[in-house]
Amino acid sequence: MKKIPSYKNAKVLVTGGAGFIGSHLVEALLAKGAKVTIYDNMMRGEESFRNLKEIFENSRRKPEVVVADVLDFEKVKKHVAGKDYVFHLAALPSHRLALHQPRQYALVDIIGTVNVLEAARLTKSKPKVILASSNKVYGKSKPPFKEDMPLAPEGPYGQAKKTAEEMCYQYNKYYGVDTPFVRFHHAIGPRCQPDLALSIFTERVIQGKKPIVHGHFEGKKFISCAADFTNVFDAVRGIMLVAGLKGYQVFNLGTGKLTTVEQIARLVMKYLDKEDLGIEYREMLPHESLVHLADISKAKKVLGFEAKTPVEESVRQYVEWRLRVGPRPSAVYRV
């Protein structure tokens, strides 16, 4: 694997730095000697504050914390100024909830991204802006997903991500802002977002309830959804590698291997010693895809990136973390 760029004394802004991937990225940057500013509106309340607490407990160097929204352009401009890198992870996270809040997703994920790009354009330091995009831009395209295939997002979440990517292209082409970015593929691990299946499975199993697995029924036969589940520490290493590039470039960050959602549920039951609970099967939502799988050849060739952590270890890491930190009331299906 190629060496991660030197971040020693680099001035770095991480929007969404109190979130799941963002908090791990902040810790990794601090460990590399970066001067990190977290920019986050703390939308998840207790979850966000716990993530911050863990950052401060785990890191010798301490970040600056700015509690603000990416829709506040004047504040964004103030804190982008003078930075070398801006990792833009601030976004609304749930593709399911997006169906009920399409306007809000457009505001935060598109206008929020434009605010960051515009701030980078205006500041003298001309920082690189590294966008965190998603596999949801591929929609129901035939897997494996390649970076250069036509994008066909399903639902407002994927559409907002696609538009944010396109704005990165425009800011690179016309204003010279470097915008290398990544498409994360189902990152999991400690601090995993409460609205993701792994988090919800774990809460239900601890409570003695069956995990609910989504997929597709063909007659009486059930086919579980399946995805490319990527360990968060691998994902963080990947985005830090991408930040070393210039121009407008995109990389899938995944394993290139499929794991069914049912397998994730069964691993949770195994690690919690409740394998006899059984599983409840449900039809997936209309905008959801049965299979998400990344083609990772570009990241491997250009970056030397490989996500090698087995999914079993990623699930184990999460379950052990959850048992240590305690209950997560927000880890429930909301739609």
Band the pLDDT of 2: cuts 50, 70, 90: low
β pairing state of 280-283 and 212-218? parallel
pLDDT, one tens digit per residue, over 128-143 is: 999 999 999 999 999 9
Cα(183)–Cα(155) distance, integer angstroms: 17
Q: At a CB cut-off of 8 Å and minimum separation 6, what does 94 contact?
A: 157, 195, 334
Q: What is the pLDDT of residue 1?
A: 52
Phi, psi of 10 (to 5 degrees): -70, 145
Residue 195 Cα distances to 97, 120, 132, 333, angstroms:
10, 31, 18, 7
pTM of the entire structure?
0.96
Mean pLDDT along residues 108-116: 98
Longest dimension (CA), the chain: 62
The count of C-alpha atoms lying within 13 angstroms of the C-alpha of 255, restricted to the half-sphere facing its C-beta, is 21
Percent of the chain residues topping a pLDDT of 90: 93
Cα(174)–Cα(154) distance, integer angstroms: 29
Q: What is the CA radius of gyration of the chain?
A: 19
The secondary structure of 277-330, three-state, reads CCCEEEECCCCCCCECCECCHHHHHHHCCCCCCCHHHHHHHHHHHHHHHCCCCC
Band the pLDDT of 263: cuts 50, 70, 90: very high
Residue 164 has pLDDT above 90, yes or no: yes
Cα(41)–Cα(58) distance, integer angstroms: 22
Closest CA to 117 of 54, 67, 172: 172
Q: What is the pLDDT of residue 99?
A: 86
Q: What is the pLDDT of residue 256?
A: 96
Return the beta strands (E) in the chain as ranges.
11-15, 35-40, 64-67, 85-88, 128-134, 181-184, 187-188, 212-218, 221-224, 226-227, 230-231, 250-253, 259-260, 280-283
pLDDT, one tens digit per residue, over 85-105 is: 999 999 998 888 888 899 999
Residue 9 has pLDDT above 60, yes or no: yes
Q: What is the pLDDT of residue 89?
A: 98
Cα(257)–Cα(312) distance, integer angstroms: 13
Residue 151 has pLDDT above 70, yes or no: yes
pLDDT, one tens digit per residue, over 51-86 is: 999 999 999 999 999 999 999 999 999 999 999 999
Could you tell me the two tokens for 261? 């959602």
pLDDT, one tens digit per residue, over 185-201 is: 999 999 999 999 999 99
Cα(15)–Cα(71) distance, integer angstroms: 12
Q: Which amino acid is at 32?
A: K
Closest CA to 124 of 86, 84, 173: 84
Domains of the chain in start order, with CATH, are 11-187+230-253 (3.40.50.720), 188-228+257-293+309-325 (3.90.25.10)
Measured distance between the N- and C-terminal CA atoms of the chain, rounded to whole angstroms: 41
Helices and strands per DSSP (H, E), number in the chain: 11, 14
**Distance of alpha carbon 51 from its chain centroid, rounded?**
15
Contact 41, 22 (CB under 8 A): no
Could you tell me the two tokens for 115? 């605010």
Band the pLDDT of 250: cuts 50, 70, 90: very high
Cα(148)–Cα(14) distance, integer angstroms: 27
Cα(296)–Cα(164) distance, integer angstroms: 22
**Distance of alpha carbon 1 from its chain centroid, rounded?**
22
**Chain-wide mean pLDDT for the chain?**
96
Cα(109)–Cα(164) distance, integer angstroms: 7
Cα(87)–Cα(82) distance, integer angstroms: 14
Burial of 178 (0-12, 13-18, 19+ CB in 10 A): buried
Q: At a CB cut-off of 8 Å and minimum separation 6, what does 221 contact?
A: none
